[in-house]
Chains A and B, each alone.
Chain A
Amino acid sequence: MSRTHVTTTVNGDTVEFLCDPEETLLDALRDHLGLTGSKEGCASGDCGACTVKLDGRLVCSCLVLAAESVDRKVETIEGMADGDDLHPLQQKFLEMGALQCGICTPGFLVAAKDLLERNPEPSETQVRYCLAGNLCRCTGYDKIIRAVMETAEDMRGA
């Protein structure tokens, strides 16, 4: 079986790896690039724990072949904080305890960041719809939704 040589951009850095044709972008991030922030919850597009941005669009990295990512722009949870400075969403999730086991958290953060970039003033209903592809088995969602709403408010004030 021939392996594909992939050169692409992840969080602004050029990266290279070899992958099998069946491997997903999620496999490549975790196993070839050591970026284990993106999680595999279901591997079927349902849970959103593997959420990354691919050329500016939110996608489930479990439903992207690694070989498809040649010369694309991939953004993961690892690129969210600016060095030691957490993104306001990350800070708010910590302060409000919007996580328990944390498996869903990277996906929620990447998706919520995209949501706030597109819509700085979302209604609660919009937040709930936009994040419907991110499942959490622990928190019951309330704190997550509130953390996103409050961050939106803080960021508008800033």
Chain B
Amino acid sequence: MKYEAPDTVEAAVGLLSSAQGTARVLAGGTDLLVQSRAGMVEPDLVVDIKRIAGMDAITEEDGGFRIGAAVSGAQLGEHDGVKAAWPGVVEGVELIGSTQVQGRATMIGNLCNGSPAADSVPAMIAAGATVHVVGPDGSRDVAVEEVVTGPGKLSLSKGELIASVFLPKPEAHSSDAYLRFIPRTEMDIAVVGAGVALTLDDSGTVSAARVALGAVAPTALLVDACAQAIVGTTLDDAALENLAAAASAACNPIDDKRGTIKYRTKVAGVLARRAAVIAKARAGETS
């Protein structure tokens, strides 16, 4: 294995493009180093992106926030602006691992690891986040839900890396929430995760919504039927029932020691419903 720590994005892309064998970007390393130690991946080249200027920055852009690919969970959790705008995204990121893991783990690493249970991903999808992909043929912006195509599989081509993620400016009276279910209180992999972002109109009716589920299919899912179940309602019981039913209907989970198919399907509905209630309460408090 070769280790490189370039100081520009161009140099990183150059190294990744010309690499022979398996090349991997190194962000926080909390997935990559565990996997390479376990022999699950044997990189010939590791490109550490943390020495690239600006990668560890959180900057305001068009009323939203651009978060660099080297920003750790701990750093994000200390940013009052992002917490106020997208509390659900921050809570998804902060659920990743322990204090020590938070010191290193990035949300883009969480996404690019390609796990269906990645905690920050449903929240990012619900928020309508996009990532900025840089590669040998230029750069492009991609919706978060289009990055992962299957467990551990990404829509990035050889030489491409993600430089940042952009959380858009929230509409007035909007907010979000993320909930996950694990069998213990800390340090476990989600059995189900649900992220909800919604906007209220002046009368308290939901005027827009995005609902995403994690750990219930090969990739995190953006579920339009869930959004349709609550848009135009005040999140009354009937709407919440419909939301839960739509979430359960979207599930295509695996059966494993953490949860059976039946259980995950049921819990997805419950969590989507609870996350929507929290998002609505938060949206009511915003101006």
With a 10 A CB-CB cut-off, give which of B1, B3, B46 has the most chain A CB atoms. B3
In the complex, 14 of the A-B residue pairs with CB atoms within 8 angstroms, ordered by the A residue number, are: A2-B2, A45-B100, A45-B101, A48-B100, A57-B72, A58-B99, A62-B33, A63-B28, A63-B30, A64-B33, A68-B3, A68-B5, A68-B26, A132-B99
- Closest chain A residue to B78 by CB distance? A118
- Closest chain B residue to A70 by CB distance? B5
Q: Which residues of A contact B (CB under 8 A)?
A: 2, 4, 21-22, 24, 43-46, 48, 51, 54, 57-60, 62-65, 67-68, 70, 111, 114-115, 129-134
**Which A residues touch B3, using CB under 8 A?**
4, 21, 65, 67-68
- Closest chain B residue to A65 by CB distance? B3
**Which B residues touch A60, using CB under 8 A?**
30, 100-101, 104
Bound: A96/B34 CA distance, A:
35
In whole Å, how far is B78's beta carbon from the nearest beta carbon of chain A?
A: 10
Bound: A134/B34 CA distance, A:
17
In whole Å, how far is B187's beta carbon from the nearest beta carbon of chain A?
A: 6
Contact of A57 among B36, B46, B103 (CB under 8 A): B103
Top 8 closest pairs, chain A to chain B, by CB: A133-B98, A57-B103, A132-B186, A21-B3, A59-B103, A67-B3, A133-B100, A60-B100
**Which A residues touch B103, using CB under 8 A?**
54, 57-59
- The verdict on B257 contacting chain A, using a C-beta distance below 8 Å, is no
Report yes or no: B46 in contact with A21, Cβ–Cβ below 8 A. yes
User: What mask results when residues 63 to 102 of chain B are scored 1 for a CB within 8 Å of chain A, else 0?
Assistant: 0000000001010000000000000000000000111111
Bound: A118/B37 CA distance, A:
32
In whole Å, how far is B44's beta carbon from the nearest beta carbon of chain A?
A: 10
Q: Which residues of B contact A (CB under 8 A)?
A: 1-3, 5, 26, 28-30, 33-34, 36-38, 46, 48, 50, 72, 74, 97-104, 185-187
With a 10 A CB-CB cut-off, give which of B98, B101, B185, B186 has the most chain A CB atoms. B98
Report yes or no: A58 in contact with B100, Cβ–Cβ below 8 A. yes
Bound: A154/B103 CA distance, A:
27
Bound: A23/B237 CA distance, A:
56
**Which B residues touch A57, using CB under 8 A?**
72, 74, 103-104
Report yes or no: A21 in contact with B1, Cβ–Cβ below 8 A. yes
**Which A residues touch B37, using CB under 8 A?**
43-44
Report yes or no: A59 in contact with B100, Cβ–Cβ below 8 A. yes
In whole Å, how far is B23's beta carbon from the nearest beta carbon of chain A?
A: 13
Bound: A59/B106 CA distance, A:
13
**Which B residues touch A48, using CB under 8 A?**
98, 100
With A21-B1, A24-B33 already in contact, the answer to whether A65 and B46 are too (CB < 8 A) is yes
Bound: A2/B74 CA distance, A:
33
In whole Å, how far is A108's beta carbon from the nearest beta carbon of chain B?
A: 12
Report yes or no: A65 in contact with B26, Cβ–Cβ below 8 A. yes
Bound: A24/B46 CA distance, A:
14
In whole Å, how far is A115's beta carbon from the nearest beta carbon of chain B?
A: 8
In whole Å, how far is A36's beta carbon from the nearest beta carbon of chain B?
A: 19
Report yes or no: B2 in contact with A21, Cβ–Cβ below 8 A. yes
Report yes or no: B187 in contact with A46, Cβ–Cβ below 8 A. yes
**Which B residues touch A129, using CB under 8 A?**
186
Bound: A46/B50 CA distance, A:
23
**Which B residues touch A64, using CB under 8 A?**
29, 33, 104
- Closest chain B residue to A21 by CB distance? B3
With A44-B34, A65-B3 already in contact, the answer to whether A133 and B99 are too (CB < 8 A) is yes
Report yes or no: B5 in contact with A67, Cβ–Cβ below 8 A. yes
Contact of B97 among A24, A111, A115, A133 (CB under 8 A): A133
With a 10 A CB-CB cut-off, give which of A4, A60, A129, A132 has the most chain B CB atoms. A60
**Which A residues touch B50, using CB under 8 A?**
68
Report yes or no: B26 in contact with A51, Cβ–Cβ below 8 A. no
